[in-house]
């Protein structure tokens, strides 16, 4: 919009309905004196049609007589599009990993962060039973120090090397030999 065109508009004119309530609630908090400023991310209509994403910053300035709003809108459309693309790739990757026929586990040096269905089934458990649990729940006690050391080293250098042979203990007490990369 040209400056003169924009001065003739109000917030509702340039805000899609799904974002207007968010803006309205924040403005109400400002007018009620609950806050002196706010910042939100919202969509805005563009003059020729279409939508842009903006970071809206609003604050109150009080001079000797009146209160004034200071409003800044920064175009963050490119960043939001990149975030959306990244989220889509993450969803695709997650689906690929979750549906993989091979056991896939994500863990830190101490506990399970993720396990797909194939991995949980191999360990005779469910993902919900394992995520958040210590790795020592399944790794044989005598193998834990060596495994823990390898994992800590891999996390420190940022990559894992080679294949690890382990024996895990299943819920029924049986042992299962595995190879892990």
Consecutive sets of 10 residues in the chain, 181 residues long: mean pLDDT of each? 89 89 91 92 92 94 89 94 95 90 91 94 94 94 91 87 90 92 83
Count Cβ atoms below 10 Å from residue 119 Cβ, excluding itself: 20
CA 161 → CA 97, 111, 153, 158, distances in Å? Answer: 20, 20, 10, 10
Catalogue the E-assigned strands of the chain.
Answer: 37-45, 51-62, 67-75, 105-107, 112-115, 164-169, 175-180
> Which pLDDT does position 181 carry in this prediction?
83
Q: Structure tokens of 24?
A: 């309205």
> Which pLDDT does position 11 carry in this prediction?
82
């Amino acid at each position: 919009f040209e400056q003169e065109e924009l001065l003739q508009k109000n917030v509702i004119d340039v805000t899609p309905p799904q974002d207007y309530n968010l803006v309205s609630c924040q403005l109400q908090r400002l007018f009620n004196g609950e806050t002196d400023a706010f910042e939100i991310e919202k969509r805005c209509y563009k003059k020729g049609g279409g939508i842009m994403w903006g970071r809206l910053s609003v604050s109150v300035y009080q001079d000797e007589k009146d209160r004034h709003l200071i409003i800044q809108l920064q175009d963050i459309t490119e960043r939001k599009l990149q975030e959306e693309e990244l989220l889509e790739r993450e969803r695709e990757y997650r689906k690929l990993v979750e549906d993989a026929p091979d056991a896939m586990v994500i863990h830190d040096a101490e506990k399970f962060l993720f396990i797909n269905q194939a991995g949980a089934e191999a360990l005779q458990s469910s993902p919900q039973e394992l995520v958040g649990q210590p790795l020592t729940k399944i790794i044989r006690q005598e193998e834990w120090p060596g495994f823990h050391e390898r994992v800590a080293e891999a996390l420190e250098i940022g990559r894992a090397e080679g294949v690890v042979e382990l024996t895990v203990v299943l819920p029924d007490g049986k042992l299962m030999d595995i190879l892990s990369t």
